[in-house]
Structures are given as C-alpha cells and as structure tokens.
Amino acid sequence: MWLIVDEAHVTNIAVREPYRGKGLGEKLLREMMRTASWLGMLRMTLEVRVSNEIAQSLYRKLGFYGAGLRPGYYSDNGEDALIMWAELVPEENAGTEIAGAAEGERSS
C-alpha cells in the first residue's frame, strides 16, 4: 500500500486459490483500510480487472465505488482496469464500520 498525502493506494492484494472463499481477502482489505485510517489517510483507491467481478463485489461491499477506467492497464493481456475509491472512517470512529458501506454504493 502506498500512502500519498491523505490517500492510500492498494498496489496488490491476493489470496492463493486453495484459500479463496474463506473471507481472507475481506479480512486483509479491512485491515488495510483500518491501518490507512490510523495513519491519517482519508481515502483509498485501487485498480481491479474489469473481468474480476468477484473482487469488484468485495470492494463494493466495503464501500468502494467505480470512478473510471485505465485502458490497457494490465500488461499480460491488455485488459482495462476499473479505478475504485472508498472514503475511510477516521480511526477513532472506525470500529468495524467502513465508510461508504453504510452510505450505500455510489454511482460513477
């Protein structure tokens, strides 16, 4: 995760295939969001393959919303990336709630 001014950028998050579907990706991302908030970040962004609907569903569940496309972002096959953003809850109010999740999904 990169920290730039008041924004956190998730550079990579992955779960090995035998461990998928057990909630580990959600736990990893929730912890990244909590840590970013604790470090004073106000927003978080990431890119996800447009074909990766499972990941997009998780990100939306945690309050991320689509904000644009990066054409040809992935060098292995030239696939586009969906840019997603989430507002972070200030650490003192974070608890288990994630900003955006309580507000509902935003339209892009």
Task: Write out the catalytic residue numbers.
Answer: 47, 59
Residues 91/92/98/99 CA torsion (nearest 10 deg): -90
CA distance 27 to 39: 18
The 10 Å Cβ neighbour count of residue 86 is: 25
Q: In what order do the strands lie in the sheet with 81-87?
A: 2-4, 7-9, 43-49, 81-87, 65-70
Taking alpha carbons only, the member of 47, 108, 46, 44 closest to residue 81 is 47
